[in-house]
Structure 1
């Protein structure tokens, strides 16, 4: 099972992190991704594949005041 932000996401199996983020409409410059408790560098989003058993957390940065 794949978990992304606490939800089951088996449709992401085999996708690169970059492809998943794009398919979900994330703005890459405003997020950070953690895979199995390790921060994934933005330069690795294209080469890092989501696999069964992964736990992914996506954090979006928002401006405010």
Structure 2
């Protein structure tokens, strides 16, 4: 499926169905993230059951520590 991820058009592998699958694919599933799909901010619980579709707009923000 083709989606816009953080402003870039990407082709996701066929096995990706849910937001949680995207997070696992990019190896950020264990980080604290904020995910927005088509303008709606999702709670962490919604990551597992929010199904993605072609042309969805996904924004993922994760926090980076530093000093």
Gaps of 5+ in 2: none
Higher helix content, 1 or 2 = 1
Length-normalised TM-score, structure 1: 0.81
Q: RMSD value over aligned CA atoms?
A: 1.9
What number of residue pairs does the alignment pair up? 65
CA distance in 1, matches of 2:27, 2:17: 15
Kindly report structure 1 stretches of 4+ aligned residues shifted beyond 3 Å: none
Name the structure 1 match of 2:48.
46
Aligned residues of 2:3 and 2:54 also touching (Cα < 8 A): yes
Length-normalised TM-score, structure 2: 0.79
Structure 1 residues 24-63: aligned runs within 5 Å: 24-63=26-65
Name the structure 1 match of 2:7.
6
Which secondary structure state, in structure 1, belongs to the residue aligned with residue 58 of structure 2?
strand
